[in-house]
Amino acid sequence: MTERLASDTAGLARAAEILANGGLVAMPTETVYGLAADACDDLAVARIYAAKGRPSFNPLIVHFPAQAIAQRYVRFNDDALRLAAAFWPGPLTLVLPLEQGAKISRLVTAGLDTLAVRVPDHPVAQGLIARFGGPIAAPSANPSGRISPTTADHVMAGLNGRIEAVVDGGACPVGLESTIVACDSAGPARLLREGGIPAEAIEACLGTALARPAGGAAAVVAPGMLESHYAPKGQLRLNAETVLQGEVLLGFGHVQGATINLSPAGDLVEAAARLFGALHQFDQMGAAKIAVSPIPEKGLGRAINDRLRRAAAPRG
């Protein structure tokens, strides 16, 4: 059975104890719930892959309390220093070269010589990292290929009985995973995944354009970013201007007849925060066909569209 813990002192103490014993705890972050384990414990990390049913070549993000601690594990170049200063704590993950001898489980990096690191901006995640006292590996707390969880109920719907506990910290304010940027000295900084920080803001901070994968941001670059991902049970039809028979509508902006509207006001931040919750709701309703209103391809809209394209991709 999976324990549901409050995000108070006693709950965090229990969660830290579970982590120290090699167990798995889902924790809220500002982006989505993460499935946390001791990043230095091979067995604990292996249990993450098992609980998620995740292909083992897909590396994990490691969460730190502050940049100063992360610097013991990875090397920051000038771009990385600038981005960390501007956006940490917050929904930005940096892929950086591993320091030799860093005691991170090799399962975390799936054999790569880089490590994805992030400093979350959430009091519960920070409280748990502080109590545990070491780096925490945490992918999104969903079964592999399913929708990322933004509430403790979402976590339970996917992983109940497969993990030791979930700390209930309410709904995640950003609601989309972090933006991933590689600063691994193999040339200019590269955008690996759109996410909670718009690419424009990162480019403004760096003063140059980010390198992007050939084929645009929808191309698969981060290992394990499989085409069919974030998949709800129903079939999605994107950029729908009308609703066909048998479809429900996931609306955006001023549209009529939406079953769920991500943001009637057309606010992309609000839409991002609601996206995964809406897809979960359609799953619960048993919606088979979901039409989705067009979402503008700018700011967080790009990350929303990236997730929607993956959710709509043909299933293998």
Residue numbers of the site for Mg ion (CB under 5 A)? 140
Q: How many CB atoms sit inside 10 A of residue 91's CB?
A: 27
Beta-ladder partners of 94: 117, 181
Q: Is 116 in the site for ligand TXA (CB under 6 A)?
A: yes
Q: Is 146 in the site for ligand TXA (CB under 6 A)?
A: no
Taking the least distance from each CB to ligand TXA, the nearer of 138 and 236 is: 138
Distance between alpha carbon 176 and the CA centroid of its chain, in Å?
Answer: 6
Which of 29, 105, 126, 263 binds ligand TXA (CB under 6 A)? It is 29
DSSP 98: B
Q: Is 262 in the site for ligand TXA (CB under 6 A)?
A: no
* Residue owning tokens 């403790």: 152
Taking the least distance from each CB to Mg ion, the nearer of 140 and 179 is: 140
* Residue owning tokens 């990043």: 39
**Which of these ranges, 77-85, 106-114, 259-267, 305-313, lies near ligand TXA under the rule CB under 6 A?**
106-114
Q: Is 25 in the site for ligand TXA (CB under 6 A)?
A: no
DSSP 259-294: SEES-TT--HHHHHHHHHHHHHHHHHHT-SEEEE--
Site string for ligand TXA, 188-207 (x = CB under 6 A): ----x---------------
Burial of residue 216, with CB atoms counted within 10 A of its CB: 0-12 exposed, 13-18 middle, 19 or more buried: exposed
Minimal distance, residue 232 CB to Mg ion, in Å: 14
Task: Round to whole Å and give the CA distance between 296 and 219.
Answer: 19
Minimal distance, residue 144 CB to Mg ion, in Å: 8
Which of 7, 93, 151, 263 binds ligand TXA (CB under 6 A)? It is 93
Tell me the CA distances in angstroms from 33 to 110, 149, 156, 234, 270, one per residue in order: 22, 6, 11, 23, 18
3-state secondary structure string across 194-261: CCCCCHHHHHHHHCCCCECCCCCCCCCCCCCCCCCCCCCCCEEECCCCCCCCCCEEEECCCCCCCCEE
**Which of these ranges, 16-24, 112-120, 276-284, 300-308, lies near ligand TXA under the rule CB under 6 A?**
112-120
Q: Is 122 in the site for ligand TXA (CB under 6 A)?
A: no
Give the count of residues interacting with ligand TXA (CB under 6 A). Answer: 28
* 114 touches, from Mg ion, ligand TXA, none (C-beta below 5 to 8 Å by class): ligand TXA
Taking the least distance from each CB to ligand TXA, the nearer of 58 and 71 is: 58
* 263 touches, from Mg ion, ligand TXA, none (C-beta below 5 to 8 Å by class): none
* 116 touches, from Mg ion, ligand TXA, none (C-beta below 5 to 8 Å by class): ligand TXA
Task: Round to whole Å and give the CA distance between 125 and 167.
Answer: 9
3-state secondary structure string across 11-30: HHHHHHHHHHCCCCEEECCC
Interface residue list for ligand TXA (CB under 6 A):
29, 31-32, 34, 58-61, 91, 93, 95, 109, 112, 114-116, 118, 138-140, 177-178, 180, 192, 222-225
